[in-house]
Amino acid sequence: MPERSIKIAPSILSADFANFGQEIRAVEAQGADWIHVDVMDGHFVPNLTFGPPLVKAIRPHISTVMDVHLMIAPVDPYIDAFAEAGSDIITAHLEAGPHIHRTLQAIRAAGCKAGLALNPGTGLADMAYLLDMVDLVCVMAVNPGFGGQKFIHSQVDKVRRLREMIGDRPIQIEIDGGITPDTAPLMAAAGADVLVAGSAVFKGGSVADPAPYGENIRRIREAADAAL
């Protein structure tokens, strides 16, 4: 297996909503590898956040990777809009509809990398026939809908088993939810490649004082790297 390096993907759900452009530039300057955009519809998950116009508006401010996580149902009618808005990766939930195979096809057809997200209560059995269609698997370590929730430890074993299933396929495993310097090494050791962190990155900093963002990212990254 090639040597892994951990990527940190700050979630703008924890950023200052009135200053998204500046927040994104600040957190990238402080070491973010990707920018994670949590799209919620108030239906599939109990929260309402961003749509394609917001994604399009922040795209010019992102110089790394725009990682768009669709916690919405249905998904298919919105794929083209999020692709046209500038998404690099579009991740849909296995649980969001009956035709996830078609959804993944549509994401790739729209020119984006295809991600597949799994809620904490979802097992890996349904992944077997989808692995050759995905570029990324996002394992939720909290129930989707809100930031700042407590890490669900059962997902560590899920990631370990998922890594075995993936084998030598070029698929990245992303962890979303509850990532801190304490939980990052658990997921890194289990096989994670990308760690999404919201409050753990943005706490203590601001556009005017972004240094804490860099310190927070460094602490998560060092803890994760130490476990590899």
The DSSP line for 55-103 is: HHHHGGG-SS-EEEEEE-SS-GGGHHHHHHTT-SEEEEEGGG-S-HHHH
pTM over the 0.95 mark? yes
Q: Residue 147 — pLDDT band, cuts 50, 70, 90?
A: confident
Give mean pLDDT, residues 148-172: 96
Active site residue 182: no
Asked whether 75 and 96 are in contact (CB, 8 A), the reply is: yes
Q: E strand or H helix at 37, and its extent?
A: strand 35-40
- The pLDDT confidence band at residue 209, using thresholds 50, 70 and 90, is very high
Q: Would you state the pLDDT for residue 8?
A: 98
β-bridge pairing 172-176 and 194-197: parallel
161 to each of 51, 123, 200, how far by Cα in Å? 33, 10, 26
Looking at residue 145, what is its pLDDT?
84
| pLDDT surpasses 80 at 2 | no
Q: Degrees (nearest 5) of the Cα angle 14, 114, 151?
A: 40
Average pLDDT, the chain: 96
pLDDT in tens, 110-119: 999 999 999 9
Could you say which of 67, 135, 176, 193 is catalytic? 176
Closest CA relative to residue 32, chosen from 62, 57, 60: 62
pLDDT tens column, 41-90: 999 999 999 999 999 999 999 999 999 999 999 999 999 999 999 999 99
**pLDDT beyond 60 at 1:** no
Report, as an integer, the average pLDDT of 193-203.
97
CB-CB contact of 146 with 178 (8 Å): no
Of 38, 67, 135, 193, which one is the catalytic site residue?
38
Q: Are 228 and 2 in contact (CB under 8 A)?
A: no
Judge whether 176 counts as a catalytic residue: yes
Confidence of residue 31 (pLDDT cuts 50, 70, 90): very high
